[in-house]
Structure 1
Amino acid sequence: MIEGVFAAPATGALTDQVAAVLADGRDPGVETFERVLNAVVGHSFRDREALAAALGSVPRKFTMKPDPQVRCLAGIVGAAVGPVRADEPWEKAGAGWLELCQHVAPDYIAGARVGEVTARLRAGDPVPFLLSVPSSPTGAVGPYDLVERLAQYARLGVRPGPADLGQALLRVGGRVDPEAVRAAEKLELPEGARVAAWLRQGGLPHPTWWREREAGEPERPSRRRGARIGRRILVGHEAIEGRGAFPRRFWSLFRKFEPHLSCPHWSLPDYRDAHTVATLPWHPEIAAARLLTGVASAADQDGSGAPAFLGALAATDGPAGPAVHLAVAYGLASVPEPDREAAVRALVRLDSRGRLDGALLGRELTELVGLGTLKVPLLTGSLRAAAATPRGAGAVWAVLGTALPGLLACTRPQAHGALLGVAADAARLSGARGELPGISALAGRTGSSQLLKEARRLRDTLAGL
C-alpha cells in the first residue's frame, strides 16, 4: 500500500535498519524514521511473533544520549516485541497530557502520534500501515494516498487512530483534486465526511501573521538574561479554526501564538529539526515562527545550530512568509558555520523554486543589522558564498538590491567595501541593471580605497559598462 522510499522493507532488512539507527544514535532523517516506524507497525500487524523474533535481539540501550527520534524508535520497537497488554486501552494514550509551551506545538503533534502507535502496539491492536506516512520527503501526504489508505482500513475493518489521522490531515495541503474529495465522500468509515470536508477546504487554513520586535531598547547580552534584549524580530499568528475535531494534544497548534509569551521553552528539548517541519509540510511558517527564538539565538548569542531545520523550511512546498525569511536571515549570520552553510543553501533553493521574496529578506537583514543582532562579516561571507553557487547570484542580488542602501547606512565604513564587492559580483553574474540610491555619488568620490573601487565597479556593472 505504501510505495516508494517509504515502503516497508522485508523483516531482515528492517532488522538491519533498526540496528543501525539505534547503534548510531543520531537523527536518522525524516525518510528513514518514517519508513522504519511504518514498517514496525505493518510487520506487527501481519506477524507479530516473527517481528518480535527478528527485533528482539537488537540492543535498545544507549551508551550516550541518543537523538529524540532514536529514542522514539526504540520505544516503538520495545512495544512491538514486548508482551501484549490487552488490559491497557490504547485509546487513553496521552490522557494526562499538560500543555507547557506553545513554541513546541508541532512536537506535541508528533508526540501524540508516536504515543498512540506505541500504546496500540502494546495493546496488541496494530494497523496494517500508518495513515500519516509521507508521500514525499518533505512529509507531505498526497490526498489520493490518504483516501486510498482509509479505503483499505475500511476493507480490513481497522479503526483509524485519532492522532495518526490527525497527523495525516495536517500533512495534506496545496491544490486538492476534486476527484479526491469525491472519493473521500464515498468512504465507508465514520471519518469519511470529515476527511472530505478537510480536503475540500485545502487542508489546514493559513493563519493571519504579524511580526514584532522584542519590547525594550536594544541591550547587549546580559549574564542574568542571556539574550540580547530588544534586538530580535519575531512572528506571531492569530488563532486557527477547527481544533475541536483533533485530539487535545493538537490544540496548541490552533491557539493564537504570541511569540513573547512566557514559557519554559528553554528547559525543554530542542526540536528545531526536519521532523518538526515535516509535521506541517504545507505550513513552514508555523514551524519557523514558533521556533524562531532558537534560530535567532545561534546568531546573537551562543545558541545551538539547526542546519537541518533551515534546509527543511526551504524544501517544503508551503508558502514562505515572514517567519521563513527571518529564519534564513538569522541563519545567514549564525555563529555555527553549519547553520550559515544551510542558510546559504536555503536562500538559493527558495529562489530556484520561486519562493524567495528578495525584497522582504533584504528589509529583514537591514533591520536586524541596524539593531546589532547580526554580525556583518558573517552575513557578508554567507552572501559571498551564495553568489558563488550556480544561480545563486540572482538570489543574492534580489536581496542586496533592496538591502544595500540600508546596510551601508547602518554598518561601519570598514565593512562597506566587502559588502559592495559581493553586490558587484552578484550584479555582474546575474546581469542586473539599473541604479541604486547613493552608489553613483559614492563612486564619484576621489580616492582609491576598496570602498570606492567596489562602488565604481557596482555602478559600472549596473550601467552595463
Structure 2
Amino acid sequence: MTSEAAVSAPPLGDALLKAVRAGRTAEVVGLLDGMTDAERRACLPALKELRKELRPARWDSASRRAHPTLHAAGAACHTGAAGTADWLTGADMRWAQASPAVLLHVLGDRERAWLGDVAHRLAERPDSAQVPYELMSGLVRLSGCPLPTTETYVFGWVQWICGTRRRGDTVAQRLRQDPHTAELVTASFGTTGIGGRLDWMFGSGAQDWVDALTQLTREGTLDRQELLDSCAAALLRGGPPADCRVFLRLLKGLEPTRAEELEHVATWMALASDAVSTVASHAQSVLGSLALDGGLTARQLAEMSDAVLFRAERRLVRSQLVLLGKALRRDRSSAAELLPAVARAFGHEDTDVQERALKLVERHIGSVTAEVRAEVAASADLLSAGLRARAEGPLGLEEAGTAPEPYREMLPPAPEPQRLATAPESAAEVAEEVAALLASGGDVAAFERTLDGLVRHSYRDRAALVEALRPAVARRWWFDIDSRYTAVDGYFGAAPHGLEVVLAALFGQVRVEALRKAVQHPPTTESCAHSGPARAFNARLWEAAHRAVTEPQPLLLATPTWASGVLEPDELVSRLDEYRRLGARPGEADLAQALLRVRRDDRAAADAAAARAAALGTPEGDRLARWLATASPSLPSVRRHVSGNRVLLEPAGADESAGTGWFPDELPPEFRLLGLPVDVSTQRRYCSHYWEQSDQQYWLAVLPGQRELVAGRLLNDLSALATDDIRGDAALLPRMAEAEGEAGGAVHLGLAYGLGARHPEDRLGAVDALLVLAARGQLDAFRLGADLGELVRCGAVKPLRLAESVRTAAATGAYATVWAVVRTALPPLFERLDADGATAPPHGLGELVAVAADCAERTGVRGELPHLSRAVDRRGTSRLVTQARRLRTTLDRDEAA
C-alpha cells in the first residue's frame, strides 16, 4: 500500500493542483476525499509553492479564482493540527477563504481529538485573524471537545447571533436555540471589548442584546443570580466605557430587589469609589436609597463618603453632599459619624463644593462633642482662604491658634546657563553621541557637540571615524544602498536632515557633486516664515558635509560656548588663531554662524577680543574685529494683525525692515534671509518645513539672544495649537523661555496660544514656559493677560482650556503670578457680558473666574476689577455668577479684618 500510494501520489497531486488553480471546488473536494494522509502530505509542497506564486498578485483574476480552493486544499493536506491552523489563518488567506461548510467537509474525516485541537488553536488566534465562527463551532460539534471561551470565539458567537436578524428571527430566539448560550454569556462578561462589539452591531448601548438576556432570565433559561454576580464582577473589573455601559444597562434591566442590593453593599461601595463616572453614579444612587431606608449604618455611609468625596467629578461629589444632608436631617445623632466625612470635601478643588460642605458643617456642628469638632476643624486648612475665614467662628479656629500664615510666592529656580562640554576625545565617543542623537534626538548642546566631534575627527583620521560610526548608522536606509542610486543625492540635496548628511558623506553615500551643488546653489523653497532660520541652519550642515570629504576642517568656529547658542568672543578668537596656525581655511557658513552667535553685549570683553582678532593678521580676524566693534541693533517694531480668529505680528511699516543693520552684505545669502521681515501673507501653515519640525528646536541657537525674531517666525505654528488643534509645537515654548534676549510681543503671544492649546501636554509645556519666565523676572503679566483676553474674545482660545492651564500654574505655588495675568485678561471678557444675563457667556468663563478668585483669596489682594459687576449682577446661580461674587467679596474685604 505504501508503494502504491507513492506511485499514485504525483498524478493525484497534479490533478489537485490543476483543480485548485481553476477554482473548481467540487473537484478539489472529491480528490481530497479519496486521498490518504501520505498522499495529502505529498501534495503539500506543490500547494505551498502555489501560495508563494499567488502572494505578490493576490488581486488578479488567477489569484481570486484559486485562493478559496487553495485555502481548503492546504488545510486538508496538513496532517498536523498546528500546521492546519496556521494555514487557515494566514494573513494572505483571509481575504478569499473557503466557506466553513467546505472546510468542515474536507477536515471532518479526521480523529475527534485532532479536530478539537484545531478548534482550540483557531479560537486562540487573535480576533484580527478573522476565523469564521461557523468553522470553529462546527469543529467543536464534530469533535465533542470542551467549548473554547476565548475572545475570538466569544466575539464570533456574538456576531453570529446578531447576524440572524436578517432572517427575521430575534436575538432572543437564537439565544434560546443555542445549547451553549449560558456558558458563552458567562464568558462574554470576562471578554474585554465586548461592549464595543455590541455597540457596533446594535448601536450605542446594545439594547436589543440587553433585552434578550433579561427576557431569557425571566424565562429561567439563564440563571438570574449568576448574571447579577457576573455583571457586578465585570463592573468591578472596569474596562472600556462601552463594556461598562452594556453591563450597567443589563444590571439595571435585571432590576435587583432590595434584598439583592443589600447582599452587594460592598460591591456598590467599591463601584462608587473606583468605577467610571456613569457606573459610580448608579452605585451612589443605590447606596443613597439604602441609606435613607435604613439599610446602611452611619459608619458605612461615612466610609462611602470618604471615597466619593475624593473623586474629581463635581456631580458625584455634590450628590454625595446632598445625600449626607438628607441623612443628617433624618437622624441628627449620626452627625458624630458623618461630619468628619463631610469635612473631606474641604479639600476639593471646586470652592462651590467646599462651600456646600461648610454649610452642612455649620448647620450640624453644634450637636457634636468637642472631640468631633476638633477633628472637623483639623480639615479647615484645606478650605479656600475666604471660606476658611468664614469657618473660624463655627469651628473655633481662632481659639485653636490655626490662623493661616502670610502668603509666599513659590516659583521654580531660574535655570542656570549651561556651558557646553568639550568635543568627544575619541572616535568611539563620537559614535556613541551620534547613536544617541539618531535614536532619540537631543538638545542644542548635544547636537553642536556631536557635530563638532564629527568635524574634528574627520580631520584627524577619517578612516578610524568611519569604522567607529559603522554600528551606529548600519540601520539607516541609505547605509548599504548603491552609491549610484540617485535618490540618495536627491534626498540629501533637498534637505540635510540634521547630522545625517554629514554621516552619509563620510560613508561616501552622497556624491561630492551633489554636496557641492547644495553648498553653492542650495535649493530654493517658497517664501515662508521658516525659510530664514531653516536655510541658515541647513547651509552650515551642507558645508560641514562637503568639507568633511573634500577639505576637512580642524574644528568648527561656530560651536557655541553656552547651551543657549551664545559664543564667547575670546573663544572665537582662539579658534581663528588655531586656523591661522594650521593654515586651514574657515568655512564661509561656519564663520557666518559664528559671527551671529558671538556675544557683543559685554563691551569690555568685545573690545578686548576685537583687538586680539585684529592682531591675527588674517581676513577672518579683521572681519571679526569689525563685527565686534558694532553693537547689536534694537529689535524692529511690529504691529498686531488680526487674521480670522488669529492675532499675529507683522512689520510696522513698509520702510522698516528687520534686516537693517543686522545682516550686512558680507554675510552669505542664506544668512541674509534672516534679516527679511516676516509678513503675515507669507505665513503658510503647511510649507516644506512642516515635516522637519524637529529642526525648529535648533533655530533659537541660530540667532541666540534674539528670541523675539525667532518667535515671530514661529508664531503662526504656535497659534495653530489653539486654533487648529495641532499637537506638539508647544515643546518649543520652554526652550524659548530659557533662551537669551528680550521676551517681547512675539514670545508672550506665542505663550498665550500655548496656554490655550487643545492638547493637555501642550498646555503643560506652556505652563512650564510661563513659570520659567516668571522665575527669570522676564514675564510681562500685563502683556500676557491682554493677549489672552484678546485671544478669548476673538475665539482663538477657549476659556475652559485656559482655566486648566492657569490652575495648573497656580497649583505650583505661583498664585500671585497667575493673578497678575488673569486680572488683566478678565475685564475685557466681563465687558462683553450683557446686563440682563440673557446671552450665555463663553463656555468655561466661570472656571477661569474661579481660578482668579482662588488666587485672590490666597494672595490677599484687594482692590477693584473693572466690569466685574456685570458678572456679579447676572441672574441665577451659575458657576460664573457664584465665582464672580466670591471674587468680589475677596477683593472688597477690609484689610483690617
TM-score category, normalised to shorter length: 0.7 to 0.9
Does 2:648 align with 1:234?
A: yes
Deviations 1:287-321 (A, max 9, x none): 11112111111211142321321111111121111
- CA change 1:200–1:446 in 2 (3 A) is same
Match of 2:168 in 1: none
Q: Does the Cα contact within 8 Å between 2:658 and 2:676 map onto a contact in 1? A: yes
Q: Is the aligned partner of 1:353 residue 2:776?
A: yes
Identity over aligned residues, as a percent?
A: 37
- Listed as ranges, the matches of 1:214-293 within 5 Å are 214=643, 230-237=644-651, 238-241=657-660, 242-261=663-682, 265-268=686-689, 269-271=691-693, 273-293=696-716
Q: Distance in 1 between matches of 2:872 and 2:685?
A: 52
Cα displacement string for residues 381-410 of structure 1 (whole angstroms, at most 9, x for unaligned residues): 1011111113x2232122112111113345
Pick closer, same or farther for the CA change 1:154–1:416 going to 2, 3 Å: same
Query: Which residue is equivalent to 1:155?
Result: 581
Q: Does 1:21 align with 2:456?
A: no
**8 Å CA contact retained: 2:579, 2:585:** yes
Q: Say yes or no: does 1:118 pair with 2:540.
A: no
Find the residue that maps to 2:844 and give its secondary structure.
Answer: helix
Match of 1:30 among 429, 432, 444: 444
Say whether 1:426 aligns with 2:842: no
Structure-1 residue corresponding to 2:367: none
**CA offset at residue 369 of structure 1?**
1.0
Structure 1's unaligned 5+ residue stretches are 215-229
CA displacement at 1:197 relative to structure 2: 2.9
Quote the offset at 1:323 in angstroms: 0.9
TM-score under structure 1 length normalisation? 0.85
Q: 1:439 to 1:264 in 2, by over 3 A?
A: closer
Q: Would the aligned equivalents of 2:443 and 2:697 in 1 still touch at CA under 8 Å? A: yes
Residues 210 and 61 from structure 1, CA distance in 2 versus in 1: closer, same or farther, beyond 3 angstroms? farther
Q: What's the CA shift string for 1:132-153, capped at 9, x where partnerless?
A: 1122222222222222222222
Structure scoring higher RCO (CA < 8 A, sep ≥ 6) equals 1
CA distance in 2 between counterparts of 1:374 and 1:39 reads 45
2:742 maps to 319
Distance 1:85 1:449, change over 3 A: closer
Change (3 A) 1:140 1:406: same
1:42 equivalent to 2:456? Answer yes
CA apart distance, 1:448: 5.2
8 Å contact kept, 1:75–1:118: yes
Superposition CA RMSD, Å:
3.1
Check whether the contact 1:185–1:192 (CA below 8 A) recurs between aligned residues.
no
Q: Choose from 384, 397, 420 the match for 2:819.
A: 397
* Alpha-carbon distance between aligned partners in 2 of 1:144 and 1:426, rounded to the nearest angstrom: 48
CA distance in 2, matches of 1:113, 1:126: 14
- Equivalent residue runs for 1:191-230 within 5 Å: 191-203=620-632, 205-214=634-643, 230=644
CA distance in 2: counterparts of 1:97 and 1:129, whole angstroms: 26
Structure 1 Cα separation of the partners of residues 785 and 680 of structure 2: 22
Greater mean deviation of Cα atoms: 359-368 or 192-201? 192-201
> Which of 500, 510, 517 lines up with 1:74 in the alignment?
500
The range that moved more, 70-79 or 322-331, is 70-79
Partners of 1:63 and 1:426 lie apart in 2 by 54
- Pair 336,60 (structure 1): closer, same or farther in 2 beyond 3 Å: farther
Change (3 A) 1:89 1:20: closer
The answer to whether the aligner puts 1:5 opposite 2:421 as a matched pair is: yes
Maintained 8 Å contact 1:72/1:114 = yes
Map of 2:846 onto structure 1: 417
Out of 457, 460, 465, the position equivalent to 2:886 is: 457
Counterpart position of 1:134: 560
Q: Which amino acid aligns with 2:461?
A: D
The 1:270/1:360 distance shift into structure 2, 3 A limit, reads farther
- The range that moved more, 308-317 or 412-421, is 412-421
Distance 1:4 1:370, change over 3 A: closer
Q: Supply the distance in 2 between the matched residues of 1:39 and 1:174 (Cα, whole angstroms).
A: 27
Return the alpha-carbon distance in structure 1 between the equivalents of residues 522 and 547 of structure 2. Answer: 17
Structure-2 change in CA distance of 1:4 and 1:250 (3 Å): closer
> Which one of 455, 470, 482 corresponds to residue 56 of structure 1?
470
Question: Do the aligned partners of 2:725 and 2:758 also contact (CA within 8 Å) in 1?
Answer: yes
Check whether the contact 2:748–2:783 (CA below 8 A) recurs between aligned residues.
yes
- CA offset at residue 11 of structure 1? 2.1
- Letter in structure 1 aligned against 2:768: R
Q: 2:718 aligns with which of 277, 290, 295?
A: 295
Letter in 1 for 2:563: P
| Letter paired with 1:395 | T
Residues in 2 aligned to 1:443 and 1:249: alpha-carbon distance in whole angstroms: 57
Q: Give the Cα separation in 2 of the matches to 1:89 and 1:298.
A: 36
Secondary structure, counterpart of 1:56 in structure 2: helix
Q: Distance in 2 between matches of 1:334 and 1:458?
A: 26
Cα pair 1:212 1:235 within 8 Å, conserved: yes
In structure 2, relative to structure 1, the CA distance for the partners of 1:89 and 1:436 (3 Å cut) is: closer
Rounded to whole Å, the distance in 2 between the matches of 1:248 and 1:445 is: 61
SS at match of 2:529: helix
SS at match of 1:186: helix
The equivalent residue for 2:793 is 370
Alpha-carbon offset, residue 444 of structure 1: 7.2
How many matched pairs? 443
Structure-2 residue corresponding to 1:436: 865
Aligned-partner Cα distance in 2 for 1:74–1:360: 41
* 1:61 shift after superposition: 4.0
Give the drift of 1:192.
2.2
Q: Secondary structure at the match of 2:639?
A: strand
> Would the alpha carbon gap of residues 73 and 161 (structure 1) be closer, same or farther in structure 2, given more than 3 Å must change?
same
Deviates more, 1:95-104 or 1:360-369: 95-104
Structure 2: gaps of 5 or more residues: 1-418, 479-490, 652-656, 834-839
